[in-house]
Structure 1
């Protein structure tokens, strides 16, 4: 409907259990909090015994993973009580205090992160990070036997806390800039030969904090680019190094405006090389190989599972996270996997590297979106400047390759990025990978972990494909046969059981919508039968996610428009028309109603078959009947409920509805005149 924008990837906040973090409401009523452990644990923070303080921090770290307990801690000023322990004389207390604040920030969501920043948690955190960096060289010698914590363990927790805060709070990013903490992250990055876990955490944090951070871009110097480029040039073949290089590439992309024109060209080539290598790795082959190579002792699966569960219990009891990062996707259990298992770290790093690579490419192929002011200006433009499809003349070249610079376009093609993205979507070896992996592993926890991480990578690949389709020409994507093959696969994904997953359904319908639009403009046969299309739309339009319903209706309009140019399609067009009319009349969301109307305009705009089908479904009288209600609802709900972008498009549809009715009335009069003569 109207202008279809590229998706720009934004990272949401997630809690340790992988569920989206929900804002924690702070209430003054503590009557329901009588059994809360908060008061007792916070009192223990003041104990003269380091062991007691460590126990209290570790317990808080564990308890706050249940988000309903967080208000009890916040009401008792937990942040200001835990914060000073970041500089405790005991390394163990420092680490567990950072872990407690890390979990509080992740489980509490953006509002709690903002509150933590307001309570000045970044002051002791910054001091801790600087002390850790000073202590790296002194702790570089092998640790004493039996020593539990190292400076780098503390730094890793602290970096993850910083990452959480900067990801959720713009204020934290501003403090990060002013405090010059980029140097700290660089120091942690450079520890990759000694401590890869810390380096990856720092790389994740840098990738996040450099995004859309103009203030930081202006302050970077040659040394910053030197560190990142040195990481890109490493030749280590491990999956963890692949992830590290990918994250460094993401930071370089975010900071590219700080480079000279000559440097940008060289850096973009190195960046594309890194992304291409990451995407070229076949998880279907590598994950079973990683697992098999590390299990030559062939221990029984039952013993192995019991050992893992024991490891997890030990980690949780000590209030420590088994992995370097809070899980960031629903049902992701990676935090339950012990970090001393090399094959697990490598498998996770491989899938994380591919996910991150796809997210970077999504943003590379994303043109700048109009600001709210620009949308307002477009909305108030003269009606004569609006095209029949609801787009202004300035937006008519949506699917041209003009969204990318010629140089970037060439670099992506030279490194076969589009082909690698479509390969990941199809994952030809996925089925065999699972067969082999299940036979080797026989551990349901690990199988679940791998399946969900691969599912997430495929979701990112679908979003990436959507943006590539919107910014590259047909031949760049394999020509007609290449597009038909991808369309066939996307159609099969839509009808799969994954249809129940909203994230996946949104990604696959967005990609399919873009693909079918391109195929329609190039007169490439789409390959979906009308019956399949109706089943798809019946399922997708019932989804609670508005974007999925909108995509489904757009697909219906694109396909119907193509069918209207063919012979003997009136019956199918009649089915499509009835479905669109039903949604336009009954859906509670105006954006969805508008998309249904926009699709109707496309399907019944021209052609003998469309005229015949429109007459059979009483299209003219039905649209006349719904017009007053649509206009009234737009006036009543518009400004308060919908964005300027949505209002602009809805207003265009209101205008086009009036014009379309005039067109149908003229068509009817012409038919009457022909009949009477």
Structure 2
């Protein structure tokens, strides 16, 4: 078993905001599903025209047209809208440049990797780099003499800074090439200046800077090395998390703004990214991250938000306001209805929870193993008791001793974290798009489904920590184990197993979810009553998957279920399935090595105690002979393990160990004479 780890090849923290995977490939399919074909060519034509007002209109129109509309976004991309907008970044008219940056920012957020990669390849960083010192100079002047510029000019400058910073943040998540290029800009002093002046700047701009810093400090030494030794930077970051919102006065004092909640969450992530050398005498996880983030993940009801969003969308016209984009009355690019503003507020709230889960996943991956006295009897305790625990966590429960005591680990991570995490895994009507279609509000759907995944990743790491502790007190609390097991399965069952374009998130949830139930199964091995339908589903997943690690998760979970003493028939089904996999070791097309090693290990563990009631299956099925007939085939498979591949050394070491154990196990069972 392994804890959730970052995928180094894919740096992006957020999924595509408005997915297009449900659409067939090609521009023709996008054209057939878009109702705005006629608007595309005029926009492209006017964007390169001689009239500055028309160029500005075209940039604004792009932002309006792509709103929750992947078909039109794809059509525009096919007409080189990215190249056209990048060209406008060097426009002679400032207002055109401002709107072009806004449109590019929206494309980055909505379109994800592909569009960001295209922007990088078309050299967007060259003009963006020139904007950084200009923004610094302009905002410094505003801060020094705020009365020298009209309020609308200041707002325009802050919005421009927000858009430039957000674009840099999205690009830095696209590839290591883009990240390295952004490192060359030396962006940390620029971004930290916004956080240092947070009480005088709009919260949206400050939060954008914090988000960019959070991404840049994620396993990126140049940015980390800029912050770690700088006392002023670390003091600023600590002040923000200590104050909670970090926005005590000035333009950002509206605590109702969800971004004021997101700011300390992001800063806690930055501190965690740059630790351990960032701050002395402070344990970032125990003293800052956990007390700050636990209330955040407990603060929402996904079902309630889903219902509110559905009501708002039903009252809001889905047609773009292209008819309002006249040349005489070009709208502001941030012109929004009351419903749109509320939808943005709710999405921001969801994204903050998603960020908190990303950070907590890393925290849970480093949790210490509990001491033998640990118990989990309060995991699914009374709701009011859980709320009381949540209220007091900042004072004592989250402050762990070093080394941690058993009681502290238990009170901190089980009732306080597990319960709110479980609440976040249950699907809502907006968790997934309809098969072959688009959600009624894609941003909400991508955010909620990402929260499901993030909560499961945290749970995966928590239960892995418990399962590796081999704690008898944990295993004895079988009622808690069964309740949690049933709740995870209940949520996964509602997710369903539909596949196909647009349903990729369901597969991701199952892949993480199987890891969670493996951890639960290991923690309460022998107490969980196997269900035949669950066994069939795990077998189907294992057979259908081409991912060896996912197959190992399925096998590991089945192994735990096979060890329920009274479930003799289920034990036989699982064991015969394992033996069929082991039989493939000698066939022309053997199973993947890693699942094969897991199967051999599982069979040894299941039948290591001949006094178990289900051991009758081993004797009556003559499993000893089947195991013996596969020893040579298994040895050959282990010998072929390539140490040069990623994880090859560990797999080779484990394969050799299991090979020796298998030979010894066969001899032991033969000596019993049963």
TM-score (norm 1): 0.70
Query: Is 1:649 aligned with 2:629?
Result: no
Shift of 1:476: 9.5
1:280 paired residue among 287, 298, 312: 298
Q: Sort the Cα spacing of 1:311 and 1:469 in 2 relative to 1 into closer, same or farther, 3 A.
A: same
Does the CA contact (< 8 Å) of 1:12 and 1:20 recur in 2? no
Which residue in 2 is equivalent to 1:49? 51
Q: Over the residues paired in the alignment, what is the CA RMSD in angstroms?
A: 5.0
Q: Distance in 2 between matches of 1:8 and 1:207?
A: 15
Aligned length in residues: 585
Q: In the TM superposition, what are the counterparts of 1:351-500 in structure 2 within 5 Å?
A: 351-367=350-366, 407=402, 413=409, 416-427=412-423, 445=440, 453-471=447-465, 481-500=479-498
| Counterpart among 140, 154, 161 of residue 167 in structure 2 | 161
Q: Is the 8 A contact 1:16 1:107 kept in 2?
A: yes
**Comparing 359-368 and 645-654, the one that deviates more:** 645-654
Counterpart CA distance in 1 for 2:444 and 2:320 is: 19
Residue in structure 1 matched with residue 33 of structure 2 by the alignment = none
Superposed displacement of residue 275, structure 1 = 0.9
Q: Is the 8 A contact 1:285 1:429 kept in 2?
A: no
Note the residue ranges of structure 2 that are not aligned, 5 or more in a row: 27-36, 246-254, 375-398, 431-438, 499-505, 585-589
Query: Contact between 1:36 and 1:72, CA under 8 Å: does it hold in 2?
Result: no
Change (3 A) 1:588 1:400: farther
1:181 to 184, 187, 208: 187
Structure 1 residue runs without a partner (length 5+): 26-34, 293-299, 324-336, 369-396, 436-443
Distance 1:650 1:39 in 2: 59
Pick from 599, 602, 605: which aligns with 2:605? 602
Change (3 A) 1:82 1:533: closer
Which of 619, 638, 642 is the aligned partner of 2:623? 619
User: Using the alignment, how far apart are the partners of 1:126 and 1:16 within structure 2?
Assistant: 26
Question: The residue matched to 1:88 in structure 2 has which SS?
Answer: coil
Indicate conservation of the 8 Å contact 1:487/1:515, yes or no.
yes
CA distance in 2, matches of 1:238, 1:532: 46
Instruction: Confirm or deny: 8 A CA contact 1:308 1:338 kept in the other structure.
Output: no
CA displacement 1:296-331 (0-9 Å, x = unmatched): xxxx969x73534246768999999989xxxxxxxx
Equivalent runs, 1:522-561 vs 2, <5 Å: 526-531=527-532, 533-544=534-545, 546=547, 547-560=549-562
- Map 1:60-459 to 2 at 5 A: 79=83, 82-83=85-86, 85-102=88-105, 113=116, 116-117=119-120, 120-136=123-139, 138=142, 150-189=156-195, 190-191=197-198, 194-220=201-227, 221-232=230-241, 233-234=243-244, 236=255, 238-262=257-281, 264-265=282-283, 269-283=287-301, 287=305, 305-310=314-319, 341-367=340-366, 407=402, 413=409, 416-427=412-423, 445=440, 453-459=447-453
Contact preservation (8 Å) 1:132, 1:151: yes
Greater shift, 584-593 or 358-367, is seen at 584-593
Shift of 1:92: 3.2
Distance 1:191 1:406, change over 3 A: closer
Offset at 1:569? 4.9
* Contact 2:210–2:266 (CA under 8 A) maintained in structure 1: yes
Q: Normalising by structure 2, what TM-score?
A: 0.71
Q: What is the match of residue 509 of structure 1? A: 514
- Greater Cα offset, 142-151 or 123-132: 142-151
Cα deviation, residue 457, structure 1: 2.0
Cα distance in structure 1, aligned partners of 2:625 and 2:475:
43
Query: Using the alignment, how far apart are the partners of 1:668 and 1:21 within structure 2?
Result: 56
Equivalent-residue separation in structure 1 for 2:39 and 2:447 (angstroms): 35
Pairwise CA distance, 1:158: 1.4
Q: Is the 8 A contact 2:627 2:666 kept in 1?
A: no
- Going from structure 1 to structure 2, the CA distance change for 1:345 and 1:142 (only over 3 Å counts) comes to farther
- C-alpha contact (below 8 Å) 2:191/2:209 kept by paired residues: yes
Cα separation, 2, equivalents of 1:316 and 1:362:
44
1:580 alignment partner in structure 2: 578
Deviation at 1:246, TM superposition (A): 1.0
Contact kept? 1:276, 1:417, Cα under 8 Å: no
